[in-house]
A = this chain, B = another copy of it.
Amino acid sequence: MKLSEKMKELVESSRRELQGRESKSHDPGRRRMLGRTLAMAGAAGVATQAGAQALEVPPSAKEHGRPMPANEYGMPSKFEAHVKRRRTDVFVNRQNFSDWSMTPLHQQHGIVTPNGLIFERHHNGVPDIDPDKHTFVIHGMVRQPLKFSMADLMKYPSVTKFYFHECSGNGLTDWLAPKSKTVQQTHGLLSCAQWTGVPVATLLEEAGVLKEAQWALAEGADGASHARSIPMKKLLDDALLVYASNGEMLRPENGYPLRLFTPGWEGNTSVKWLRRLKLGDKPWHLRSETARYTDPMPDGKWRQFSMEMECKSVVTSPSGGMKIKPGTIEILGFAWSGVGSIRTVDVTLDGGRTWREARLEEPVLDKTLTRFRLTVKWDGAPMTIASRAMDSTGYVQPTVDDIKKVRAIVGFVQHHNAIFPWDVAASGEVSNAIG
């Protein structure tokens, strides 16, 4: 008997077997069985009894598949075209070359954001830089200014680290009242990847940092010449000159071929398309340090250089725009902190009156997205779901009211790390419940 015939016989015999087994089973028994195992496994229990037709050979098994050239760069299925980065719907962007797009957190599985979906923000379009022509310079208050080609840089010992990356403007549309519909719009200026690069400290060591140097100007080679002042302490501590994310070279919109990466700090300090670090004895007070990326205080003053991203979390499922059904549901979300690792995440179903501890999924790493999960039964009554994270320093994610006590919430306010609630209506519809 040929093997292909053997396979056909296997399919036929299993179909006969299935049919026989089915006639012996009956619904009430099955329901009892399901009830028992559900309680044990916390499973969703949404499977249906398999009828004989369940084993019909699908069309894909009856025809040749698509030939696959070995040098084809893999792409998502055509059935996944709806999974993409998006802008906010809250306001229209009228600047042609200054734009951004947000990660679909509710469609992300695990903690790694695939490279094609990492959020991005650009101020004057995306440059397509030839890495063979790109140079990076360290100058200013150093003993010896140095110039590096990409080939030079990539010969230095590199490190690879998982880190989240978040824009400090993440959530700025939704402080006091619901404006955005989905978690992609409220929290999607957030991604997580495995970044590879050279410690800035290695190259500063080679250039020889003068004692007076306290800050460095990091400047990009993009049309906006985006730049930030970075304290030397951060550069010497854990900052990286990153050239790869998730195993391959950076995508153009994420800074190809080289970006600064400042772990745990607000996104735009990780200057993309990096062309120089100039060391100096004071900050430069650039546009992104005066007109933007500052925090209004209750006394009318503005706080500069608050670059650490504080502990935060959000429920990604169920989240705005979804519709759920009564029964067992898994509450999923992300927690992260710019100053350490996540210690605990609590979840409330009643708008903050009571909390229960969620399960954290390994690995739980420093300054990295941590996935939390909690399986609950929903009886169909309206509820308000939110998560509250605590990090390894003992800092607990605040409410908007907590933040109001120490900062003013006026204008385009950055650094929104408050607890973020979702309402679930009796219909199962989920909506933004901030404010």
Contact = CB atoms under 8 A, between A and B. Distances in A.
Interface string A315-331: 00000000000000110
Interface in A57-84: 57-58, 60-80, 83-84
A111, A156, A227 — most chain B CB neighbours (10 Å): A156
A126 interface: yes
A247 B114 contact: yes
A124 interface: yes
A216 to B, nearest CB: 12
B120 A83 contact: no
Given A7-B225, A157-B43, A76 B248 contact: yes
Contact of A157 (B21, B48, B373): B373
B99 A145 contact: no
Interface stretch (A128-136, A166-174, A423-431): A128-136
A47 interface: yes
A14 interface: yes
Given A64-B124, A116-B73, A363-B363, A247 B140 contact: no
A147 B44 contact: no
Given A76-B251, A115-B74, A375 B122 contact: no
A50 B146 contact: yes
Nearest to A62: B223
A321 B309 CA distance: 44
A160 B125 contact: no
A83 B60 CA distance: 30
B21 A139 contact: yes
A205 B65 contact: no
Interface stretch (A253-261, A343-351, A379-387): A253-261
Interface stretch (A231-239, A270-278, A388-396): A270-278
Interface stretch (A30-38, A295-303, A400-408, A414-422): A30-38
A190 interface: no
A158 B42 CA distance: 11
A70 B44 contact: no
A213 interface: no
Given A84-B73, A126-B66, A223-B63, A46 B155 contact: yes
A144 interface: yes
A50 B140 CA distance: 11
Contact of A158 (B22, B109, B152): B109
A44, A99, A111 — most chain B CB neighbours (10 Å): A44
A252 B50 contact: no
A307 interface: no
A12 interface: no
Given A45-B206, A124-B64, A156-B44, A112 B247 contact: yes
24 contacts: A10-B217, A25-B143, A41-B205, A44-B155, A47-B147, A47-B152, A47-B207, A50-B145, A54-B135, A54-B137, A60-B221, A61-B223, A67-B126, A68-B126, A70-B101, A72-B85, A74-B116, A75-B251, A76-B249, A77-B131, A110-B246, A112-B247, A116-B248, A363-B363
Closest A-B pairs by Cβ, 3 of them? A65-B125, A109-B244, A70-B101
Given A62-B223, A66-B125, A158-B330, 5 more contacts: A7-B286, A54-B145, A67-B99, A78-B128, A160-B361
